[in-house]
Amino acid sequence: MTLRLELVLGDITAEDVDAIVNAANHTLLGGGGVDGAIHRAAGPELVEYCRTLGGCETGEATITPGFNLTARWVIHTVGPVWHGGGHGEPELLASCYRESLARADEVEAETVAFPAISTGVFGYPIEAATAIAIETVRSTPTNVSEVRFVAFNQETVDAYQSILDLSTGTDL
Ligand code: ADP
């Protein structure tokens, strides 16, 4: 089965997909950026559920219900904080995408939306992060049929697009 990739500009909390991915922190108890937006949209039951999970390591992913979200599931993954790139950041970021797809497969989610993990407060350079996102999703065996990259601003759209423009013979 071919995996279809899409790129959209918008707020991931509004995406009508089976699972949305949250760029969470270790505690899984909410934070700023996309994490805060997802918790606000999902409602207080999400943090109550997350409290029972005992956190999540960098590069790992864990799944919860979506509660008030349109999406049935939220896959919480903890991206690396950027410390210059020599501290395993690329491998850890790739692991976030692989592990998130693995969680999606476990619940048979077919459509998954990803934010640009680590590129906000965690400071990962956007071009490098979007390259890893696309390459990892393309190279990971999965039953997911559609991955939607949700960019929150035009700079992020442009970063994904420039990576896609570099790949020859493949549509987004
Ligand atoms: P991190 O701590 O992993 O860097 P952030 O939430 O600070 O997480 O940022 C990750 C990315 O999510 C950034 O590119 C940011 O612009 C984007 N973002 C923030 N809010 C939303 C949202 N509601 N929907 C989609 N992307 C968002």
pLDDT tens sequence across 66-114: 999 999 999 999 999 999 999 999 999 999 999 999 999 999 999 999 9
**Which strand ranges, in their side-by-side order, compose the sheet holding 19-24?**
4-9, 146-151, 111-114, 19-24, 73-78, 61-65
- Using only C-alpha atoms, what is the Rg of the chain? 15
Q: Is the CB of 7 under 6 A from ligand 1?
A: no
Task: Write out the chain's pLDDT in tens, 172 residues.
Answer: 689 999 999 999 999 999 999 999 999 999 999 999 999 999 999 999 999 999 999 999 999 999 999 999 999 999 999 999 999 999 999 999 999 999 999 999 999 999 999 999 999 999 999 999 999 999 999 999 999 999 999 999 999 999 988 764 455 5
As separate numbers, helices (DSSP H) first and strands (DSSP E) second, the chain gives 5, 6
Tell me which residue has its CA closest to atom 9 in ligand 1. Answer: 120
d(CA 72, ligand 1 centre) in Å? 20
| 35 classed as catalytic | yes
User: From the candidates 16, 35, 105, 165, which is the catalytic residue?
Assistant: 35
Residue with the nearest Cα to atom 6 of ligand 1?
33
| Rounded CA separation 143/14 (Å) | 23
pTM: 0.96
Could you give the CA distance from residue 107 to residue 102 in angstroms, rounded to a whole number? 9
C-alpha neighbours within 13 Å on the C-beta side of residue 106: 13
